[in-house]
Amino acid sequence: MRAQKAVRPAHGFDMDVAEKIVRVAMSRKGETPEMPQTSPARLPASLLNRGEDRLFLTDDQLRQGVELMFFAYRDMVHDADRLLEERAYGRAHHRCLHFIWRRQGLSVAELLEILNVTKQSANRVLRQLIEDGLITSTIGEVDRRQRRLRLTPEGDALVRRLSDAQNARMKRVYMEAGSEAVRGFRLVLAGMIDADRRASVLDLVLLGDGAGQGSA
């Protein structure tokens, strides 16, 4: 039998600091710190009891985490895909709409930074969203070289439908898993973000719905 390789938790990510970030996030959004403690009965015991309290993780445990993330993402985005298909849109349209909604008035350059894509790859999507009347692009009031993006009422309505579809899945799973699991889930996701981008990502995530207003 092949010996399982043990991997130490990566340095550079302070879990105590991360937990504080999660607690601050919940308090800023007015969330109740504790959620009902329910038993995740739908998850198999073989998944829940395999060394979850160990500091050294085997290759199999790491692979399970990677695969679970893949399948969870696949099914979560499918909730929105069904609505996007009504307009023959893809996930690139969804990402642009979502982050314009989250940062109304952000510049094209800021959107490209959030999505980590090139201007060329985003231009086609943005042009279609503008032509379809879902977003507007205006010249910045201070820096006229910038283009500022905002949702139209129709665009806002579509984004909220997409968000509601995904939030329904998240709410169900959060309630089934309980508060401790939710906190751990947030810590893991925060820790997987590249260290040099983590602060800016968390700043964006902590904004209230549509609360961010890009400077002109």
Positions of E strands within 99-190: 103-104, 106-107, 135-139, 147-151
**Predicted local confidence at residue 213, as pLDDT:** 45
Q: Amino acid letter at 180?
A: E
Domain extent for 109: 62-216
Q: Is residue 203 part of a domain?
A: yes
Rg (CA), the chain: 20
The answer to whether residue 76 is domain-embedded is yes
- Domain containing 90 — which CATH number? 1.10.10.10
pLDDT of amino acid 40: 47
Quote the number of domains for the chain: 1
Secondary structure letter of residue 56 according to DSSP: S
Is residue 12, in this structure, part of any structural domain at all? Answer: no
Is residue 40 in some structural domain?
no
- Calculated CA dihedral for residues 172, 178, 180, 182, nearest 10 degrees: 0
Please report whether residue 158 resides in a domain: yes
In a domain, 141, yes or no: yes
Residue 17 lies in a domain: no
The C-alpha atoms of residue 82 and residue 192 are separated, in whole angstroms, by 28
Segment 62-115, tens digit of pLDDT: 899 999 999 999 999 998 999 999 999 999 999 999 999 999 999 999 999 999
Q: pLDDT tens digits for 30-70?
A: 554 444 444 444 555 555 554 555 555 788 888 999 999 99
Residue 39 resides in a domain: no
Q: Determine the 3-state secondary structure of 76 from DSSP.
A: helix
